[in-house]
Amino acid sequence: MIEIVNFINGEHVRGAESEGLFSLNPATEERIAHVTVSSPADVDAAVQAARAAYDSGPWPRLSVEERAYYLHAIADALEDNLALFAQYECEDTGFLAKMCRDGHLPRAVEHFRFFAEEGKRFFGSAIPVGDAYFNLTHPVPLGVAAIITPWNGPLAVSSINLAAALIAGNCVVLKPSEMAPVTISLLGQIFAEIGLPPGVVNIVQGAGSPTGQALIRHPDIDLVCFIGGTQVGKAVLRHAADTVRRSLLELGGKSPTVVLADADLDAALDGALVSAFSSNGQVCTAGSRIIVERAIAEEFSRRFIERTRQIRVGDPFDARSEIGPMISAGHREQMLRAIDAAQRQGARLRTGGAIPAWCERGFYIEPAVFTDVHPRSDLARQEIFGPVIGMFTAEDEADALRLANDTCFGLAGSVWSRDQSRALAFAKKMQAGNVGVNTPYIRDIRCPFGGFKQSGIGAVGGRWSLEHYTQTQTLCVPLSGYALPKYGVEP
């Protein structure tokens, strides 16, 4: 079993709490890691290490090219050990091995490489004020950033923010989820091996209470980046108000897949299934609401349900598996309660929604599809974060748009129509930050990724990340200058 400890000021150290937590393999329920729990004192030590590294250490004073060298070194080390990291992440999260190996881990490598180079292209401007002055703008790092990340795709999700924060010159305290801490913990070893200056990145382990709470409440943090549920995101904002500090939030979603009557049904069906069930359905962009125009609703629903029944749920290391286990017993139980509540509220369960008959161990569940879902029911409004889908029938295009936007979330979505112009016009009216047009939404590191409404504040990717992790200073430099009044001089 792996021993997971903190990484503070360049050293691996145990947390002060006497008892730790255990990370379980969701497929086998076996303990794979013992996780230290960081007390508020541990968190304070990590923040103070980051503060000292920022205030008096070399990191923010290095050139961007020198910082880029370290980011490339991190990427090199990850790439050299990609198979090992992918195995650990599969065991830690229950995500399919092929997804970890071919998707999440290469994406983490790409994040460090991309921002190593993007940072060199991120600079200020000279703004002339007539012939009298130049106003020179330049980006300045914020200081100490707290980055709190979830258990789904921990390395990929962490790295997009960590790499941007580092190339901009910030120092970081990173807290991974206690349910999937292994690959983030291994990053500490990489930092030590490549000679990253002490205190530049600190990793604290533990649950939301006490560790996460101590971090978001710490007065010496200049920015909190939180990726997770909307309710916790609101708490981050409340604490940020006390110190007027910046917050970057990627929160929940209840994303719609809209299938208009003239859609290519085969393509839309494939896209809707991918949007609904990739990453075991445990992803914030999951297309958990499928809205279909009435003219094709019956056929589309029938085919979607048939395909869902054939999805192979099983061992994430089995190449034939299409959905692995849920992250924990508790999370699966929440899903089962949500499925039961949906039926009591009148929705019709058409397939799945139970623990597979063959399941003797592991947190598996059959993907569930509901029809006859009331738009105001819990199933329609609340994020379940698993392979549970609600299908809705729209009377026409206007009704489909109304249903798509009838949510407090606005993270992602997709629309399907053979008429590309019609689909594009529809997509522009959707209240979501990321919309696929005749495709599931596919992320690109060069593009902004962020949500509308209660799905978050800010966007990550490309220069948008760097803008969040810096502040702009303007320097006013005279050329000929204006004739200044001479205060205190007798006329």
Return the closest-CA partner of residue 377 out of 289, 277, 280, 296.
289
Residue 487 belongs to some domain of the structure: no
Asked if residue 357 and residue 464 are part of one domain, the reply reads no
pLDDT value of residue 407? 97
Give the integer Cα–Cα distance in Å for 480 and 163.
Answer: 42
N- to C-terminal Cα distance for the chain?
84
Give the integer Cα–Cα distance in Å for 224 and 214.
Answer: 12
Residue 491 belongs to some domain of the structure: no
Residue 293 belongs to some domain of the structure: yes
pLDDT value of residue 280? 96
Secondary structure (DSSP) of 100-126: IIIIIHHHHHHHHHHHHHHGGG----E
Domain count, the chain: 2
Give the list of residues 6+ apart from residue 108 with CB closer than 8 angstroms, or none: 78, 155, 156, 158, 159
Per-position pLDDT tens, the chain of length 491: 899 999 999 999 988 776 789 999 999 999 999 999 999 999 999 999 999 999 999 999 999 999 999 999 999 999 999 999 999 999 999 999 999 999 999 999 999 999 999 999 999 999 999 999 999 999 999 999 999 999 999 999 999 999 999 999 999 999 999 999 999 999 999 999 999 999 999 999 999 999 999 999 999 999 999 999 999 999 999 988 888 899 999 999 999 999 999 999 999 999 999 999 999 999 999 999 999 999 999 999 999 999 999 999 999 999 999 999 999 999 999 999 999 999 999 999 999 999 999 999 999 999 999 999 999 999 999 999 999 999 999 999 999 999 999 999 999 999 999 999 999 999 999 999 999 999 999 999 999 999 999 999 999 999 999 999 999 999 999 999 898 999 999 87
Partners of 323 in beta bridges: 313
Asked if residue 234 and residue 350 are part of one domain, the reply reads no
Asked if residue 409 and residue 261 are part of one domain, the reply reads yes
Asked if residue 398 and residue 464 are part of one domain, the reply reads no
Exactly one of 89, 178, 250, 293 is catalytic; name it.
Answer: 250
Give the integer Cα–Cα distance in Å for 79 and 89.
Answer: 14
Tell me, yes or no, if 397 is annotated catalytic.
no
- Longest CA–CA span in the chain (Å) reads 97
Give the integer Cα–Cα distance in Å for 248 and 239.
Answer: 13
Q: Indicate left, alpha or beta for 376 from its phi (over 0: left) and psi (-120 to 50: alpha).
A: alpha
Give the integer Cα–Cα distance in Å for 144 and 147.
Answer: 10
> Which CATH number belongs to the domain containing residue 322 in this structure?
3.40.309.10
Q: What are the tokens at 423?
A: 């689909």
Residue 449 belongs to some domain of the structure: no
Return the closest-CA partner of residue 256 out of 390, 128, 133.
390
Segment holding 338, helix H or strand E:
helix 329-344
Half-sphere exposure of 445 (CA within 13 A, CB side): 22
Residue 403: which domain range? 256-437
Give the integer Cα–Cα distance in Å for 157 and 197.
Answer: 23
> Which CATH number belongs to the domain containing residue 133 in this structure?
3.40.605.10
Asked if residue 260 and residue 244 are part of one domain, the reply reads no
Task: Record the pTM.
Answer: 0.96
Residue 420 belongs to some domain of the structure: yes
Asked if residue 331 and residue 239 are part of one domain, the reply reads no
Residues 261, 293 contacting (CB under 8 angstroms): yes
Asked if residue 339 and residue 193 are part of one domain, the reply reads no
Residues 94, 326 contacting (CB under 8 angstroms): yes
Which letter does DSSP use for residue 196 in this model?
Answer: P
Give the integer Cα–Cα distance in Å for 233 and 237.
Answer: 6
Asked if residue 265 and residue 240 are part of one domain, the reply reads no
Asked if residue 263 and residue 340 are part of one domain, the reply reads yes
Q: What are the tokens at 17?
A: 């709490």
Return the closest-CA partner of residue 24 out of 101, 94, 110, 102.
94
Asked if residue 245 and residue 355 are part of one domain, the reply reads no
Asked if residue 326 and residue 466 are part of one domain, the reply reads no
Residues 33, 2 contacting (CB under 8 angstroms): yes
Q: What are the tokens at 123?
A: 């600079």
Return the closest-CA partner of residue 173 out of 237, 220, 209, 127.
220
Residue 490 belongs to some domain of the structure: no
Return the closest-CA partner of residue 174 out of 185, 164, 182.
185
Give the list of residues 6+ apart from residue 473 with CB closer than 8 angstroms, or none: 137, 138, 139, 140
Residue 297 belongs to some domain of the structure: yes
